[in-house]
Amino acid sequence: MGFWLWQTFLSQRKFTNNQCTDVFNLPRKGVISNLMIETYMLSGSQKVEIMSQDALKLVEVIGNGSTVLQSLTGQQLQASMAYDDHQISPDKEYVPSGGCYAYFDIRFGRYVGDPLYALDCSKWNSLELKITFDIEAGGSADTTGYTDDSGKLQIYGLYSPDGTGLAPVGYLKKAQKKTYTTTVGGTEDLALPNDYPFRRLLLLSASKPSAMNGAFQYITIDINTGARKPIDNMLTESWMFLELAMRGFPMWLHSAEYYLDAGVNSIVSRIGFPKTASVFKGSGTLFGTAVDVHQVRVDAEGGSGRVNVWGVCPDRALAIDLERWSGGKHGVEAMMDTFGYDQTADIHFKHTQLTAGYDTSVMLEQYATPPAMV
């Protein structure tokens, strides 16, 4: 049997500049279970709009110079992590004008240390990790966002240096398949690829809806032109609660410290679909509680405050999780158990929209196999 080590691949390196794409070479041998990207930035203000996930524009793992193994935004990575681990990872500072750490897990297996699905470096002629970073996208630099030239990066993960005893059958491939802006009553139709079995579909809104179903309304999975519809024009709010019931926990909880200016503050939770919120000022006095809120508005005297938010879905994201549906099966078995078809069928994902103007994307996770070495 092989063994795993926690390996640091890159230690506290500053980004080239505030807007950059940095490329790092990954090992040519051994097996990688996951790559944890730890970002650090200084913040001049603690506004809710300042988000590390927005500063991380794109993370890519590229094999043999052109094969995309993973290609996700910071938001998509964190949403995937939330569905994997039932938690929302830290993304913000917890004291005003301090350091902000965030964590983005590029996972090549179903879980960290998965012996069946991992990145076998020996199967590739070259492997690169590309990170596109824009510090100002996380908030205007200095005054109401991150401080100029403060971006730092650390990369570590679970790694078997020689891969002895490990023989993964493949790896999880994750990539954005479509982006669009919602229209009133519009329907987007995405024909899904037929190269590898599906694990999970994620529908995400990059915008911050003012209502729970602002970006979404109905979803449909259509197989072979209506031969079967495992999901048929289902209301997305119902789907959210079905997902929660399948996972055995009632709601997400997110608590964070925000700096509250004097006057009225608008706080849009990163949880995406809040149901209740409580707002406290620095002394611990409760400002108020709101129910069925989609953003929190508080009239503060200034000073630090705490916001506790309970919600029903992470990061404005809806998951169609075949692994969960099939009771833990994986690969083709998960697809056959939940869809009744494998990936070679003509499978379409359809999204009917309620409100116009929301930037939306579809992300697909698949069970992929590495190419034959040339």
Place of tokens 């990790």: 129
The radius of gyration of the chain from alpha carbons, rounded to an integer in Å, stands at 21
Task: Lowest mean pLDDT of 27-36, 212-221, 263-272, name the range.
Answer: 263-272
pLDDT in the model for residue 374: 44
Q: Is the pLDDT at 99 greater than 60, yes or no?
A: yes
pLDDT in the model for residue 194: 95
- Could you tell me how many residues make up the chain? 374
For each of the domains in the chain, give its residue range(s) and CATH number, in order of start: 5-160 (2.70.9.30), 171-249+314-368 (2.60.120.730), 252-311 (no CATH)
pLDDT in the model for residue 161: 93
Q: In whole angstroms, what is the distance from residue 283 CA to residue 285 CA?
A: 6
Edge-first strand order for the sheet with 286-291 is: 252-267, 296-311, 274-281, 286-291
Q: In whole angstroms, what is the distance from residue 345 CA to residue 94 CA?
A: 48
- Which pLDDT band, with edges at 50, 70 and 90, does 211 fall under? low
Q: In whole angstroms, what is the distance from residue 138 CA to residue 172 CA?
A: 28
pLDDT in the model for residue 250: 47
Q: In whole angstroms, what is the distance from residue 352 CA to residue 337 CA?
A: 26
CA distances from 172 to 70, 78, 196, 212 (A): 8, 16, 10, 30
142 token code pair: 């200095």
pLDDT in the model for residue 189: 97
Helix/strand/coil (H/E/C) assignment for every residue in 42-61? EECCCCCCCCHHHHEEEEEE
Burial of residue 168 (CB within 10 Å: 0-12, 13-18, 19+) is buried
Q: In the predicted model, what is the mean pLDDT of residues 115-123?
A: 95
Q: In whole angstroms, what is the distance from residue 27 CA to residue 32 CA?
A: 9
Q: Is the pLDDT at 276 greater than 80, yes or no?
A: no
pLDDT digit string, tens, across residues 307-362 = 666 666 666 788 899 998 898 999 999 999 999 999 999 999 999 998 899 899 99
Neighbours of 17 (CB within 10 A): 12
Better pLDDT: 288 or 28: 28
Task: Give me the chain's average pLDDT, please.
Answer: 82
pLDDT in the model for residue 261: 58
Q: In whole angstroms, what is the distance from residue 147 CA to residue 370 CA?
A: 41
pLDDT in the model for residue 95: 46
List the beta bridge partners of residue 314.
none
Q: Is the pLDDT at 12 greater than 60, yes or no?
A: yes
Q: Which residues contact 85 (CB under 8 A, 6 or more apart)?
A: none
Query: For 349, which DSSP code?
Result: E
pLDDT in the model for residue 46: 56
- Long-range CB pairs of 81-85, under 8 A, 24+ apart, other chains included: 81/105, 81/107, 82/252, 82/314, 82/315, 82/317, 83/200, 83/202, 83/314, 83/317, 83/319, 83/321, 84/110, 84/111
pTM for the whole thing?
0.86
pLDDT digit string, tens, across residues 16-39 = 888 989 999 999 999 999 999 998
Q: In whole angstroms, what is the distance from residue 290 CA to residue 362 CA?
A: 31
- Long-range CB pairs of 224-228, under 8 A, 24+ apart, other chains included: 224/341, 224/345, 224/346, 225/346, 228/339, 228/340, 228/341
Q: In the predicted model, what is the mean pLDDT of residues 286-314?
A: 57
